[in-house]
A and B are shown apart, each in its own frame.
Chain A
Amino acid sequence: MPQTLYDKLWDSHVVHVEEDGTALLYIDRHLVHEVTSPQAFEGLKLAGRKPWRIASVVATADHNTPTDHWEEGMAGVRDPFARLQIETLDRNIADFGAKVYFPFLDKRQGIVHVIGPEQGATLPGMTVVCGDSHTSTHGAFACLAHGIGTSEVEHVLATQCLVTRKMKNMRVSVEGPLARGVTPKDVILAIIGRIGTAGGTGHAIEFAGSTLRAMSLEGRMTVCNMAIEAGARAGIIGVDEATIDYLRGRPYAPKGRDWDAAVAYWRTLVSDPNARFDREVALDAREIRPHVTWGTSPEMVVPVDDVVPDPEREKDAMRREGMERALTYMGLKPRTRMTDIKLDKVFIGSCTNSRIEDLRAAAAVVKGRRVASSIRAAMVVPGSGLVKAQAEKEGLDRIFRAAGFQWREPGCSMCLGMNPDRLDAGERCASTSNRNFEGRQGVGGRTHLVSPPMAAAAAIAGHFVDIRTWR
């Protein structure tokens, strides 16, 4: 029987199945960070358990690490609770070990979802878990990757398995070329706008079609990253030449004969022709315009040349109330043109959009211009130390600095504002991150999700602009 890619990944990892379908799924790669792991390590210690296979662990500190004052070392971490979490991770890795650990201040430290692929520690055919919902990012490499809770982090450490059930198969196909200025971020925002934030609940979404094939692995990661914003724990994309080219020569990718054998296997990691999906959705890439969110959920999104929707035109009472509450929180009036919305801050970064390609695209917009005087802060936070080094080699940092952007150290930063980078109440931000939830970037902060070039252009203009008209 023809199988989907998800079926293949699932079948190749099932250790045991209970009568009711609950399965033990073997985990190849366990990514660990400082916020969701301390309770798991503590649980192991209290129960006197040892990690099953510590060589599966790749760890880094990213969520609450500061993006400035690195020259001060640990003293630069002003928040004592953040410091405690960072030091607790240091201690846990010292006690238990890891395959790879990039601690705070290491040159290769960065957002866990950026460094996994960058190091070749994420490989096709793997199961990848992490106590972070954006683990779906790694699915761009044809691995089954999804977020787990802290109890599951402890469970995977102790048993190398996850207790779980098979999800359903969903395929989202996007066909055709993207217009100039339209990016993978706009593709995934358009998908979420179409199917909603619960559209993929209970499913693994495979992204397919010529538009996805034409994307770089960086772009594919952006798409898979936000599968969770469509409700799907896992997003996946089949292997092709681009996948293999990306991984060749990465530090933890196989070498020599292993590489050849691995590549031969990886080429089988695509859905079979005629594989059956429980649900199919199709989008025409030519119709996708640059997108901007207007509300407090990623599904509250419109094309940039559109207006803020009017709740009065919504027939469903529950949705209408949700829209009204979102507009109140966001301080927006219905039918306002999106390009008339003025901004206070701009954030370019996060596991969605902080890779070298994102920074290049933003820098191309910024080059030779100045951030608008009305913008209180515009910030670029590279996804990893290696992304930062590469960007500096290409002179991107100088372009950003000359324009008035702050050029920061890597980390999750203002995507979730656990470190000092956050919005103040009422501040409005164009952000390349993934969630526009109330208070996400700071208590009372107002987030609009956009692509890197859209964020860059908004910083220069002081308001949203349609990047397709940018000259």
Chain B
Amino acid sequence: MEKFTVLNGLVAPLDRANVDTDQIIPKQYLASIKRTGFGEGCFAAWRRDPEFVLNQPRYQGAQILLARKNFGCGSSREHAPWALRDFGFRAVIAPSFGDIFFSNCYKNGFLPVVLSEADVDRLFYDAASFPGFRLVIDLESQTVSTADGSKKMPFEVDPFRKYCLLNGLDEIGLTLRHADKIRAFEDRRRAQFPWYF
């Protein structure tokens, strides 16, 4: 997995609540057996509108998506973070996320950041007001800052997820360090509840 440490990126504001994964990557782009190549499908239906935020020249090359509450609700398709990543994003900031999307992000070197509604509101204002508005996301210190350092907002992240992201670790390899424990658990369970096996 690609590491995530510090990201200094252009911010694209997507001012809609409850953006579901069917919008992030519509189903007609799911018919692939690979993990890459989904950028074309990213927000495909909305991008047909020339006025859509991601079609505006000022947001070209954005790496940070600014979003509203319940971002990534709906389908479990991991193609959603794959599409955002292939489109060029490395992080998304929102007041809340769909549970499955949120955990899928971490598996792909892609950081979902939860900030308060008030902070997100202010960032929407800034992103609209100042062309070229950038933010710096520092995972180690768990902060989102404006590029000039005038505003700094802390965010929470589970220590285990942070450790994996900072080091770009393969989670399967980490879990298999506990292989003996898994085997012992399984043996006990099989003895107690043979009908599940």
Contact = CB atoms under 8 A, between A and B. Distances in A.
A-B complex is real: yes
B30 A418 contact: yes
Interface string A285-314: 000000000000100000000000000000
A254 to B, nearest CB: 4
Interface in B22-43: 22-23, 26-28, 30-35
Contact of A438 (B23, B35, B98): B23
A15 B185 contact: yes
B189 to A, nearest CB: 7
Given A26-B182, A85-B33, A36 B78 contact: yes
A19 B20 CA distance: 33
Given A28-B196, A55-B197, A437 B20 contact: yes
A245 to B, nearest CB: 17
Interface in A48-65: 49, 52-53, 55, 64
A88 B108 CA distance: 23
B68 A318 contact: yes
A152 B27 contact: no
Interface stretch (A158-166, A333-341, A345-353, A356-364): A158-166
A325 B14 CA distance: 14
A321 B17 CA distance: 9
Contacts of B69: 198
B174 to A, nearest CB: 8
A161 B76 contact: no
B22 to A, nearest CB: 4
Interface string A406-450: 000000000011100000000000000001011110010000000
B62 to A, nearest CB: 22
A197 interface: yes
A438 B107 CA distance: 27
A202 B99 contact: yes
B23 A437 contact: yes
Contact of B22 (A22, A158, A318, A440): A440
Contacts of B195: 123, 253-254, 258-259, 261-262
5 contacts: A15-B181, A22-B159, A24-B175, A39-B34, A297-B18
A321 B31 CA distance: 33
A265 interface: yes
Contact of A39 (B35, B185, B196, B197): B35
Interface stretch (A106-114, A142-150, A171-179): A142-150
Interface string B47-63: 00000000000000000
Given A26-B186, A440-B22, A133 B193 contact: no
A91 to B, nearest CB: 10
B74 interface: yes
Given A24-B182, A322-B16, A438 B45 contact: yes
Interface of A: 15-16, 18-22, 24, 26, 28-29, 35-36, 38-39, 42, 47, 49, 52-53, 55, 64, 79, 81-82, 84-85, 88, 123, 125-126, 131-133, 135, 146-152, 154-155, 158-161, 163-165, 167, 197-198, 201-202, 228, 231-233, 253-254, 258-259, 261-262, 265, 297, 318-319, 321-322, 325, 416-418, 435, 437-440, 443
B119 to A, nearest CB: 15
A159 B176 contact: yes
B22 A201 contact: no
B196 A125 contact: yes
Nearest to A416: B27
Contacts of A42: 33-35
User: When A and B form their complex, which 10 residue pairs have the shortest distance between CB atoms, in order from nearest?
Assistant: A81-B31, A254-B195, A151-B107, A38-B33, A149-B104, A149-B78, A147-B76, A22-B160, A133-B76, A20-B159
Contact of B99 (A64, A158, A233, A418): A233
B73 A231 contact: yes
Contact of A36 (B68, B77, B160): B77
Contact of A26 (B171, B179, B189): B189
B194 interface: yes
Contact of B17 (A159, A261, A265, A318): A318
A62 to B, nearest CB: 14
A159 B31 CA distance: 27
Nearest to A34: B33
B151 interface: no
A95 B28 CA distance: 28
Contacts of A64: 31
Nearest to B185: A15
Given A152-B103, A167-B99, 7 more contacts: A18-B159, A18-B160, A125-B196, A151-B78, A439-B26, A439-B27, A443-B45
A261 B192 CA distance: 10
B188 to A, nearest CB: 10
A26 B16 contact: no
Contact of B100 (A82, A126, A148, A258): A148
B85 to A, nearest CB: 13
Contacts of A439: 22-23, 26-27, 45
Nearest to B100: A147
B193 A125 contact: yes
A152 B172 CA distance: 9
Contacts of A319: 17
B75 A133 contact: yes
A152 B107 contact: yes
B29 to A, nearest CB: 10
A155 B16 contact: no
A228 to B, nearest CB: 8
Contact of A155 (B96, B171, B179): B171
Interface in B156-189: 158-161, 171-172, 175-176, 178-179, 181-182, 185-186, 189
Nearest to B189: A26
Given A15-B182, A198-B18, A231-B99, A150 B176 contact: no
